[in-house]
Amino acid sequence: MPAVRLSDAEWTVMNAVWDREPATARDVLDAVVDETAWAYTTVKTMMDRLVDKGALKARRSSAAVVYRPAVTREKARRSAMRSLAERAFGGAFGPMAHMLLEGRGLTAKERRELKRLLQEDHDRRRTGSGQ
Amino acid sequence: MPAVRLSDAEWTVMNAVWDREPATARDVLDAVVDETAWAYTTVKTMMDRLVDKGALKARRSSAAVVYRPAVTREKARRSAMRSLAERAFGGAFGPMAHMLLEGRGLTAKERRELKRLLQEDHDRRRTGSGQ
DNA sequence: ACAATGCTTCTACATCTGTAGTATCATGCC
DNA sequence: GGCATGATACTACAGATGTAGAAGCATTGT
């Protein structure tokens, strides 16, 4: 499984679909109308291409085609991260996380949250509560 | 400054240049020879395009053109991360870091290191030793 | 000064991405 | 059953990316 590569515009479309779950091209157009100035056919073309790519599934429902994700947002995110780690960080997640934390990109709240996460993870590991 | 967007192949080239600092097209070709099967002119073309993009600087040194980075690896990495956060995580670094930490992508050592980082950062903040 | 060797420059071309027009098809209302 | 409305399918086209050939220019040893 080649792990669907999404382009910028495709992320925009997929995000709209993930937020609505079943969505028609018109739904997506409406959803992104103030983010982009796309024509209806632009959205439609992208969605059909996404079906080809295996990122969306299409099913005709009388009037129009209804699309829904063929991959979860999680999966897509994860594979985008993996791919970034690959090309930009030589495959290592560590330095990537490092940069993420060290920079001023996080809010104090997020930082707290992450620390908690690390702590939890640490505990989970030492008590061996797998899964 | 539009923040240089690097494609996959371009990352490969840039990584080789960053590792060598001044590098000719041949240097890069040699460096990536077992990763790719590129022809010399392929590398050369990419490097010249990277100059146009503002990612490399070129200077002719008698025989051949010597290239060096016009942006630091840090900057490139950072902007790639920003761009990923943008499209895939709605602009928030938090969830991105979250996913990075929660997944099994990190080694125990890295996890320790990150916790230390967060702690340090925390301390730095409360003692107000800003930059 | 000349030839060999290796660079450079130009050009090319297939694919992917972003964007959309046009013409055709289906549906639902009178 | 015919027509308006909106959706679909097909085609297009420019710019970016991946990949490279061909031909010409510079260096350097002799």
Give the whole-angstrom CA distance, residue A106 versus residue B125.
Answer: 13
* Residues whose C-beta lies under 7 Å from strand D: A 24-26, 40-41, 44-45, 48, 63-65; B 5, 7-10, 36-39, 41-42, 45-46, 49, 53, 62-63
CB contact under 8 A, B93 and A80: no
Tokens at A42, concatenated: 């632009």
More confident residue, A31 or A120: A31
Mean pLDDT of the region A69-88: 94
Residue B87 has its nearest CB partner, among A11, A96, A119, at A11
Residues in chain A with CB shorter than 8 Å from the CB of B101 are 97, 114, 117-118, 121
Q: Domain A1-91 class?
A: mainly alpha
DSSP assignment of A38-52 equals --HHHHHHHHHHHHH
Percent of chain A with pLDDT over 90: 60
* pLDDT at res. A128: 64
pLDDT digits 0-9 by tens, A11-43: 999 999 999 989 999 999 999 998 999 999 999
B27 membership: H or E segment, kind and range:
helix B25-32
More confident residue, A106 or B40: B40
Give the whole-angstrom CA distance, residue A111 versus residue A120.
Answer: 14
pLDDT digits 0-9 by tens, B62-110: 778 999 999 999 999 999 999 999 999 998 888 888 888 777 667 778 7
Residue A107 has pLDDT above 60, yes or no: yes
